[in-house]
A and B are shown apart, each in its own frame.
Chain A
């Protein structure tokens, strides 16, 4: 047996040039790579600093505390007159989160419905769902946003001729959707929130107990119905005890717009609709693939054990399909969040749009771009992390 040069043996290692020694060569290349990365990074930072200096552009993030002096179309958190650029960016971030969360919520629902629909034995439903997927995922998202914004919401009547689905309370016009504002009395408000929290905790305990009991004795307990009743019932009872202490503030017509109530601006509606329907077409495919990935033998086995169709779906097919679905689903959620930056095209003040305003008003291009990158990286990593935790819980647990 021949000895390798790096084998430590009793014999003296045969003399080999250091550059032929794989270990040392490995170190050399790692050191070179590291040095190259450091040099490139240093060059970028140094050049940036020198060039900014030469152009008399201030550096650093100090500008974030300067007064912004502009207003935003949707101020989801308070944005007072003397608020700073930093606050403006925060408003933008909250607006992005709102779009992302609403978009993910609706996209998931549409996506699951369409994905299951494509597998339906009903010819019309399955073809409709196929058509939906093929149409929506092949049209660029920006065009879909414009479609919703200009073609659908743009043609709504003016505030004076608002549509009123619930006359006097809900208004729809080209300035958005107006809903009444809910003002709960303090007992009613706390009762509902407190009741909900208590109900959730108790429900969780009941489910644990029901599962443990079933494991031990095989007896089932209708945990689903009981907990649902609790979650809905307890807040409702407390609300009733307060004497239904709720006042509604309806939007009122004023000279130009409607005042009072809650306004949901058309830009937000258009963006959420476009993002949700577009991403749903991808989620539908993910869901379909996930369900098809569960072998038919599983269903047959479930049937032969006497499980009903619903139980088969709920206990056998879906849990296994979820394992296939979750990783690509995470991707779609991340895509949706990043795609929400197209808001800039229709005046929705999301992070990119507000950042653009700040960039232009303050002239701090590099800082704003760094903030953009950091925040999008942060939100993407956070979403991915949450989905990873969920994925780990859904993965096969070996017993």
Chain B
């Protein structure tokens, strides 16, 4: 971690390489032929390498969607695993093009550290604890030792929450999620806290997952989404509209399986514009007009990605909840392609 921060700092200090990168990330990405995507060091369902070393997960699939939009090839992505602490420096220094690493959208991050392009997953912070302690509510946690990640919103929410509840606690914070889970599993702390989705994912890594429960309280808003550098509108647009394209595809009922068919047969003007038969929406953001078609054809729509990675068919078994489309009572909403 130190080397990376130092490298980033030298990048800032020396300026030359980083300045070139600022000229236009989209052009840079096209020139080098791949997207450099910052992901977590291993969070089931979001970004995790499988046994063959292939990265999988919702955050990973977002980067593959981005590569599909630009290159029509979801494999043109290189992944950089980052700890919570390293991530913003890596983004700012130009080491990565996009940060897709279950990162919470907050005002200070959005105005000082980069720009959030959308919300891939609406999450909230929760607590996990051993069943044997007989605790049923987070309000009974006074005096507990809590394991968490350093440099996260989790750490800040935790402090805020215990203060408003007027409870004592002891924090034990590690840099890597893996260390947090290991410490919790070893009994160094009573409680593990992170985003609720993360808790379900981390529980799979424990020696006896069945002996742990997630408490009902959700203590914060954690909108997780991809992030880019500030001051590069062209690249920001591409990343933002890749996210909207995933949502729009689901709303219009276009799936990975029926994309070709839909493109050939559709008469719906919305679909025609979306898939690039009408207008020059893709060309206007520096891509081809088939950009959205490429995303859906290669990756599928948002609903498909959700189900595959974190949904009820995955080991995490998380229901759509507030992550459903606005048409189904959720919060996922994309502006029209027009």
A55 and B108 CA atoms in complex are apart in Å by 14
Which residues of chain B are within 8 angstroms of A44 by Cβ–Cβ distance?
13-14
A51 near B175 (CB under 8 angstroms)?
Answer: no
Of A150, A255, A347, A359, the residue contacting B144 (CB under 8 A) is A255
In this complex, the interface size class of chain B, counting residues with CB under 8 Å from chain A, is 35 or more
Most chain-B CB neighbours within 10 Å: which of A73, A174, A356?
A: A356
Is A168's CB within 8 Å of the partner chain B?
A: no
Identify which of A256, A353, A356 contacts B145 (C-beta below 8 A). A256
In this complex, the member of B15, B158, B179 whose beta carbon has the largest number of chain A beta carbons within 10 angstroms is: B15
| Known contacts A58-B112, A363-B112; A256/B171 CB under 8 A | no
Please encode chain A, from 332 to 353, with 1 for each CB lying within 8 Å of some chain B CB and 0 for all others: 0000000000001001010011
Are A365 and B190 neighbours in the complex by a CB distance under 8 Å?
no
Instruction: Decide yes or no whether B9 CB sits under 8 A from chain A.
Output: yes
A359: chain B residues within 8 A (beta carbon): 5, 85, 89, 151
Cross-chain pair count, CB within 8 angstroms: 131
**Counting CB contacts under 8 A, is A36 at the interface?**
no
B156-189 contact mask (Cβ, 8 Å, vs A): 1 or 0: 1011100100000111111100010001001110
CA distance A52 to B92 in the complex (A): 10
- Least Cβ–Cβ distance between B112 and chain A, in angstroms: 5
B80 proximal to A (CB < 8 A): no
Q: A residues within 8 A CB of B140?
A: 255
CA distance A54 to B92 in the complex (A): 11
Interface centre among A48, A72, A257, A266 (most CB of B within 10 A): A257
Instruction: Report if B22 contacts A (CB, 8 A).
Output: yes
Tell me if B84 counts as interface (CB < 8 A to partner A).
yes
Which residues from B are CB-within-8-Å of A154? 186, 188
Inter-subunit contact A347/B145 (CB<8 Å): no
* Distance between Cα atoms of A366 and B12 in the complex (Å): 9
By size class, the interface of chain A is 35 or more
Contact B22 A54 (CB under 8 A): yes
Which chain B residues in 32-55 approach chain A with CB under 8 Å?
Answer: none
B9 near A365 (CB under 8 angstroms)?
Answer: yes
The chain B residue with its CB closest to the CB of A81 is B163
Contact of A71 among B141, B143, B171, B229 (CB under 8 A): B171
The interface residues of chain A lying within 8 Å CB-to-CB of B92 are 55, 57, 365
Nearest neighbor of A353 in chain B, beta-carbon distance: B150
Q: Judge whether B28 is part of the interface by a CB distance below 8 angstroms.
A: no
Contacts of B13 in A (CB 8 A): 44, 47-48, 366
One digit per residue, 1 when the CB lies within 8 angstroms of any chain A CB and 0 when it does not, for chain B 4-28 equals: 0110110011110011001000000
CB-based contact A344/B175 at 8 Å: yes
Task: For B156, give its contact among A70, A347, A349 (CB under 8 Å).
Answer: A70
Q: In the complex, what distance in Å separates the CA atom of A20 from the CA atom of B91? A: 53
Asked if A164 is an interface residue, CB under 8 A from chain B, the answer is no
Q: Which residues of A contact B145 (CB under 8 A)?
A: 175, 256-257
Contact of A365 among B12, B84, B155, B172 (CB under 8 A): B12
Complex: A71 Cα to B155 Cα, angstroms: 8
Q: How far is the CA of A363 from the CA of B89 in the complex (A)?
A: 8
- CB closest chain-B residue, reference A82: B163
Tell me the bound Cα distance from A254 to B145 in angstroms: 12
Complex contact A69–B174 (CB within 8 A): no
Q: Mark each residue of chain B from 218 to 240: 1 if its CB lies under 8 Å from any CB of chain A, else 0.
A: 00000000000111000000000
Given the known interface contacts A51-B18, A72-B171, A347-B174, the answer about A56 and B112 at a Cβ–Cβ threshold of 8 Å is yes
Q: Are B88 and A363 in contact (CB under 8 A)?
A: yes
Partner of A266, one of B18, B151, B188: B188
CB-defined contacts of B173 to chain A, threshold 8 Å: 70, 73, 347, 349, 357
Q: Output the least CB separation between A355 and chain B (Å).
A: 10
Compute how far the CA of A69 lies from the CA of B159 in the bound complex, rounded to whole angstroms. Answer: 7
CB distance from A69 to the nearest CB of B (A): 5
- The 26 listed contacts between A and B (C-beta, < 8 Å) are A44-B13, A47-B13, A47-B15, A51-B15, A57-B92, A71-B158, A255-B140, A256-B145, A257-B144, A344-B1, A347-B172, A347-B173, A352-B2, A353-B150, A353-B175, A356-B150, A356-B151, A357-B151, A359-B151, A360-B85, A363-B108, A365-B8, A365-B12, A365-B89, A369-B5, A369-B9
